[in-house]
A and B are shown apart, each in its own frame.
Chain A
């Protein structure tokens, strides 16, 4: 089987964003069948110093090596995927995500994350979001650091 080389990740154009948070609402609809957005959304738009920032998984997959039960895997399309039927809710991936993009809502014990489905892209009235292809080898990272180096 040929290994997946590329993955789609979200790209954000902050200058276009007006902060309507339609993306978050679309996202929480996917994950929790709820239009609440906020804590139930895998993508977060944060206003800082009058500018908008996006916080979302960049699919680098550091969490893959964290999961004790193998609930995290890279799907054929390169997306890092959490299988909540296998997940035992330990939050190791949540705690170790360096950018805080693996999320936990109060709704259920298993975390959730961006799966690059594109519903936020479609929901954005300003075209401030885009899915772009990246080479996995260029973004992947390993949990462990080299000892004494």
Chain B
């Protein structure tokens, strides 16, 4: 759109500008509770207190962050786990009064010198999974929350009417205000509140306000996301980033929170008060230069963001198409990154936090909305990111404009593009098989490729449509599976095998059939199938760098721990390996990007004044990772059966899928399973599918055996008290709970390896209680 070097105030995006009477809206606010606090300064990355709000009881108070808490939980997601553990019960569910919505920051969050340092971590008990979900998100809220004085905010209870929670770091005041007149949908609400709470009518003042909200879709589905705003002084609107996975927005709306607003009076490059400013600047500037020199030859993030992945995934048969049946598609080039590059606004610093020069947060400005209540308006669409485009492929939508439309409404309705897209793709496949049809779908013709039907479904869902299909489908694949099976409309196995969810959460957008390690990367996770714990497809499938179960288990230990570390500190993972030093391939462990790991060691030391090494970083994560798993056990899940994954993610479910990649599968039957070519000729396709099915299911169980062993868990996937003690935890209620669970498993015969091992193969150890010797 623009050619660069236009002064920030002179940018023109073509978006529809609506004048809001924010004064009238503000006058309608009624203060429910207020709390004045003493503003403090952040010391070495920590504000050293958290904010507790109970909406049912109208209580607002501060909690102190102790050194012990920092030592055990580091910050960010770790703090979130600690606060949850102190507040909820094993019977707590997503809509229980005591369930909390927690937003945390982390000691490195809010740093401006190192790319990707503005992430907030959000935690709650998820409506989709009934266990803890954690989701990381950009935008200005996290840093502003910390600079306003708090490392985390936890919100318990429910309000009686729609409220806005305001954290005013300018005045040192927290307030809960009822907010009846504002819009609920995020793209409008965020704008209204940004204008309302900015201390003056200027872009500079508006940039110091950040809003967290979720729209009508979040209210009426289990896919609610949190939209975190960040005001763009060039586009002159608050843009947004999403904490997408796990239904956080649904919990926000269940608590009747319309929005949470954070505001600061000032901040600068040293608001974190780092221990060693010069070391921080040195390591940060080094990375800026690396991005400057190498990004365009590597991931091209600065030009197209994560969309660069579309063509790569298509080429390697990994782009999920038509509900993960295929990994590539002849039409896929229509949604390759150059198509989106044409639409993106260029030459604007697109970081979702200041100083992120990876700048992957692209937008399409002045996009004309094609359907729904905003039809005809010109809006800014944030994204799409790779996952959203992947959802397009999954639903067989091959027009970038319809993907943008889907993206826009998901965002403003406050629903996760990934869960929504993956679920709709599943419904579409069911439609193709006649398990669903127009009548059963409430009159919607939900077949592959029907973009208008997708949008109609979303509009009806957001409006709270009472049709049975809309009601069930909007609760996600797991509930829809149960519903379809109960109705007896289709074969149970095909429904279970094709619906891409695990633990109740929908898959993100990668085809994992040919990478066993990545199946584990999705299944052997804490919160459900997403790719922010491990992304091992290239290591495993393309480079064959982790051939044995031991190798895969090591990768499924190291990478989830490493990636968890970003969440403890309030960082984005992308600058770690989406740009790599030019000599990275020559290092000992290129997949770990050793130079960048060292950057993070220096970075954490520079901010906190600690003296840690790279092993200590992993240990920080291991503590929180095990704690979260243990809490999942406490909540009644977090065992081997919960790490189940649908067969569609392991191999071909249908004959169509088998035939589409016949050469590959036939070859595997010969080379891996020892059949002769003439054997195979004699077999029907369904017989071949059956053989692969049994083989691959067993491979997954063997992988789980190896991974549990590497992580120091029981064969049923439960962290042991011995392991927890090793990590420095001595909370007796936690340790006793785990011991009791292990004893129960023992009685029920669950403490056994589940892989079937042939004569020349061995389980990880023959000692089923190997941990007891620790």
Interface residues of A (CB under 8 A from B): 61, 64-70, 73-74, 86-92, 94-96, 98, 104, 106, 109-110, 140-145, 147-148
Contacts and interface: CB of A to CB of B under 8 A. Distances in A.
Contacts of A73: 7-8
B288 interface: yes
B270 A69 contact: no
B357 A96 contact: yes
A61 B6 CA distance: 10
B285 A144 contact: no
B665 interface: no
B511 interface: no
B112 A90 contact: yes
Interface residues of B, number: 43
Interface string B1-32: 00111011100000000000000000000000
Nearest to A60: B5
B269 interface: yes
27 contacts: A61-B5, A64-B4, A66-B349, A68-B349, A69-B207, A69-B354, A70-B234, A87-B269, A88-B112, A88-B269, A88-B355, A89-B112, A89-B268, A90-B113, A90-B354, A91-B113, A91-B355, A92-B355, A94-B288, A95-B357, A109-B270, A110-B269, A142-B4, A143-B302, A144-B4, A147-B341, A148-B341
Pick the most buried of B8, B234, B267, B296: most chain A CB atoms within 10 A of its CB: B8
Nearest to B303: A147
A65 B112 CA distance: 17
A94 B296 contact: no
A145 B285 CA distance: 21
Interface stretch (B61-69, B276-284, B626-634, B701-709): B276-284
Interface string B260-295: 000000011110000001100100110111011000
A69 B302 CA distance: 18
Given A140-B5, A143-B302, A148-B338, 11 more contacts: A70-B203, A73-B7, A74-B7, A88-B268, A89-B112, A94-B288, A98-B292, A109-B269, A110-B269, A142-B5, A144-B346
B300 interface: yes
Interface in B647-681: none
Q: Which 3 A-B pairs have the closest CB atoms?
A: A89-B269, A95-B288, A90-B355
B304 interface: yes
A91 B288 contact: yes
Contact of A92 (B268, B337, B357): B357
B9 A91 contact: no
A64 B5 CA distance: 6
Interface in B567-610: none
Given A88-B355, A144-B347, A94 B303 contact: no
Given A73-B7, A104-B285, A109-B277, A89 B113 contact: yes
A107 B216 CA distance: 50
A94 B4 CA distance: 18
Interface in B72-86: none
A52 to B, nearest CB: 25
Nearest to B289: A95
A65 B355 contact: no
B287 A95 contact: yes
A65 B267 contact: no
Contacts of A87: 268-269
Given A65-B347, A95-B357, A142 B3 contact: yes
Given A89-B269, A95-B357, A109-B270, A68 B351 contact: yes
A147 B3 CA distance: 14
